[in-house]
Structure 1
Amino acid sequence: MAKLWSGRFQKDTDRLMDDFHSSISFDSRLYKYDITGSIAHAKMLARVGIISDREAGAIIDGLSGILEDIEAGRVEFSVAAEDIHMNMEQLLIDRIGDVGKKLHTARSRNDQVALDVRMYLRDEIDETGQLLAKLTGVLLDVAEQHLDTVMPGYTHLQRAQPITLAHHLLAYCQMFERDRQRLADCRRRVNVLPLGAGALAGTTFPLDREYVARELGFDAVTENSLDAVSDRDFAVEFAAAASLIMVHLSRFCEEIILWSSAEFGFIELDDAYSTGSSMMPQKKNPDVAELIRGKSGRVFGDLTALLTMLKGLPLAYNKDMQEDKEALFDAVDTVKKCLLIFQPLVATMRVRKENMARAARGGFTNATDLADYLVQQGVPFREAHAIVGRAVAYCLEHNKALDELSLEVLRDFSPVINEDVYEAIGVSRCVAARNVIGGPAPEAVQKAIRAAREKLDG
């Protein structure tokens, strides 16, 4: 097959070159956007008098028929045609004849591919945002069931202070809400029309770029033709946002892996989202969480690939930029798959409240509350801190918890301690007392859940 660009060449490209050069194996997924963009371009060409209305109608009908055939599985793309753009143009010419050759007037594959990728990514951002919203909704549902489920909060993976499972889950809701905001912000920069920039220097034809922007739902048009065809910042931005989503998922998965172990015993994962061992019959493995944790590295790699591909490129378009698609597509696919399966993983896990409560009572998680009690009795905090530290050392030596010490022993550490200390350092009381905005008290968490739902509904 003769290439549509082969006029100045004296011989065909080698088959090895065709295979190496072609991108149709992965950019074929852009077919819908390529057709949609081409239809808008044809309408604009007719609108400004570059082609006739009859010619535009034939092109639009031909492209619509190709779209229908692709979605029905009746089209086989050609490696020799290199990419989705040349495949579509060749299919159109084969279908409607020489009129199809007029479609590419006043555009280049450089601005065409930039358009297709932006339209594709715009839709994928919307879908990813919806998946994040659904996951947040699942977490809020689970949180509402566990407002009073006390568990230890950790620093340095050491038991620190008592919180609730609901409060813990809402921390991830905050992360995923920031992820949604980042995607929405990224979308604003994605939603700028590059078509009309040509190969790099625009065109001599009187294009109506604003019309095309309106037709395709873009908020603005690019303001510099060189930048329009060489910009992939928006792809990097998405990959960075996707990487942060994967960071948050991976951190959550690490906790799920720990919590489902016998050493923690905080949760049990549903059989439908677990696997067994080929050798050890007793095993129940958290493979979903482990795979998500592992797949985070893929998305980080996609981000690095995009950054590295771009870092040494002179203006404007360079063939290196063909490498943007596989990295971008992989980041999109990976983050969406992980968000999709993580929803039922969390929704179906069984919480072992007793084990969480038992862990919260251990490790002196109420030590800070004892120090706060002393401060309320007039003891300076730094002195109170030292007093409680000595009390903890005593407990460790005698294998006791703070609330198991007699009042007489407690008063040996500080004479200001009274009988009401036991209420102050009870684990549930420690949680309930932290009734501040952002705190773990059930009342504060319930308000936070309502606020989070309002953001989702908004």
Structure 2
Amino acid sequence: MTALTGRLSAAPSTLLDTEVLRPQFEHEVRRLLPHYVAVERVLALEYRRMGLLTADQAEDVLGLLARVRAEELAADPEANLSDIAFALERHVERGAARPVPNWHVDRSRNDLQACAQLMAARDRLAGLAGQVLGMAAAARRVAARHLDTPMPGCTHYQAAQVTTPGFHLAALGERLLHTSRRLLATFDGTDACPLGAGALTGQHLPWDRERMAALLGFTRPGGSALTDVASRAFVAEITAELSLFGITASRFATDLITWAGAGHGFVDLPDELSGISSAMPQKKNFPVLERIRGRTAHLTSCHVDVALAQRGTPYTNLVEVSKEAGAQFHDALDTASSVVRLFTAVLDGLVFRADRMRAACEREYLGGFALATLLTLRAGVPWRRAQVLAGRYVVAALERGLPPTRPDGDLLAAVAEAD
């Protein structure tokens, strides 16, 4: 304990280690270790550039960092305070052929941690945007097969006009492309490297922040040291986009659930994506659609969690913001990725029942709008009166039991004369 700080005389308690420090350590080893190592390697290169490490010392440090393995790092309240940054520091110190006095001079865990978190988020965000593009491509493939397959389109939960699955799924594809653009725009907004911000107000040594940013894959260093270590706005921004994506996915999943229901039977899925009822053997269920819609709720709850954890805090580096506020962040990314994979599989396996959709169209008076338009354009009936006549014609046809597929010109003329 005394080797790490002179301020405290005791290691973290078992309770604190068990409930807080060790779980955080294990999470960071699982999610962030490659990024912590990458940052430490860039720091070693900077020490060498500034002449604070000799060539041999830098080579020794870089070699030790290159050989770090997750299984070699263990949370230890006595040796490393169950902190991943201290664990890496100990790893280098123990393995070095000779002492490296300048190793980690003028350094803080604050920008180190912020940088590793941001790098991990950027990697996952770019990957997710690619997955969403793949889902959009799947929607486009299915849409192309059903450009001319008629089905009832609804407004206000009522059959309204003839549409096609292609028309509907093209809308899904458009929204997914929009989501991808939003995710990539968010990625661009995170393209500022926090490294060099230090604990709060920058650092003493002449660190080359432009060079460090480039080595870590950023286009520029952060513009404000305070923002670099205090903000974590990227977590809220990404989860906000995931929440919006979840809303879109949920609404289209709801359409598929409705179309697959016994009242419609418009769509089917392969048996490998379907389920059964344990008590009713006649049923073929589609619980995968319910899973998709249910998981989208988690995306919004994760964003609310981030927003609530950040909103009442001061604008500075805090464990509350840097760790607790992002506790569900990777879960949100995992969930979004799962939703995309499942939905893509559903789209690839989707089968539309053209006979049932056509029959449903033929049962409904879906041409009322077209009738009113023709009355105006061909018969010179004022538009609002044409709307009234079309509505009265439908009422009269229903009273006489006329099917929508058998329009009656005499009935229409009678309705017009009576108006």
Q: Same fold (TM over 0.5)?
A: yes
Partner of 1:65: 67
Distance 2:266 2:186 in 1: 37
Cα 1:200–1:17 change in 2 (3 A) is: same
Distance 2:300 2:270 in 1: 29
Partner of 1:340: 341
Cα 1:102–1:251 change in 2 (3 A) is: farther
Amino acid in the other structure paired with 1:397: E
Cα 1:365–1:224 change in 2 (3 A) is: same
Partner of 2:75: 78
Counterpart among 385, 388, 392 of residue 387 in structure 2: 385
Q: Which aligned pairs between 1:3-82 and structure 2 lie closer than 5 A?
A: 5-22=4-21, 23-28=24-29, 29-66=31-68, 69-70=69-70, 74-78=71-75, 80=77, 81=80, 82=82
For structure 1, the 5+ residue unaligned runs are 416-458
Q: Which aligned pairs between 1:227-306 and structure 2 lie closer than 5 A?
A: 227-306=227-306
Contact 1:254–1:293 (CA under 8 A) maintained in structure 2? yes
Distance 2:337 2:101 in 1: 38
Distance 1:107 1:274 in 2: 55
Identity of aligned residues (%): 29
Deviation at 1:3, TM superposition (A): 7.4
Cα 1:312–1:396 change in 2 (3 A) is: same
**Which is worse superposed, 175-184 or 401-410?**
401-410
Residue deviations 1:45-104, cap 9 Å, x none? 2112232222221111101111xx33xxx4353253434323322223232266567443
Contact 1:367–1:402 (CA under 8 A) maintained in structure 2? no
Residue deviations 1:108-141, cap 9 Å, x none? 1111111011111111111111101111111111
Deviation at 1:170, TM superposition (A): 0.6
**Secondary structure, in 3 states, of the residue corresponding to 2:375?**
helix
Distance 1:248 1:103 in 2: 50
Distance 2:300 2:211 in 1: 38
Cα 1:145–1:43 change in 2 (3 A) is: same
Contact 1:268–1:352 (CA under 8 A) maintained in structure 2? yes
Contact 1:194–1:229 (CA under 8 A) maintained in structure 2? yes
**Which is worse superposed, 51-60 or 387-396?**
51-60
Which one has more relative contact order, counting CA pairs under 8 Å at least 6 apart? 1
Partner of 1:328: 329
Distance 2:325 2:40 in 1: 22
**Secondary structure, in 3 states, of the residue corresponding to 1:7?**
coil
Deviation at 1:13, TM superposition (A): 1.8
Cα 1:143–1:13 change in 2 (3 A) is: same
Deviation at 1:351, TM superposition (A): 1.0
Q: Which aligned pairs between 1:32-431 and structure 2 lie closer than 5 A?
A: 32-66=34-68, 69-70=69-70, 74-78=71-75, 80=77, 81=80, 82-96=82-96, 99=99, 102-321=102-321, 322-377=323-378, 378-414=380-416
Contact 1:112–1:195 (CA under 8 A) maintained in structure 2? yes
Distance 1:42 1:166 in 2: 56
Deviation at 1:203, TM superposition (A): 1.1
Distance 1:112 1:88 in 2: 12
Deviation at 1:215, TM superposition (A): 0.7
Contact 2:364–2:404 (CA under 8 A) maintained in structure 1? no
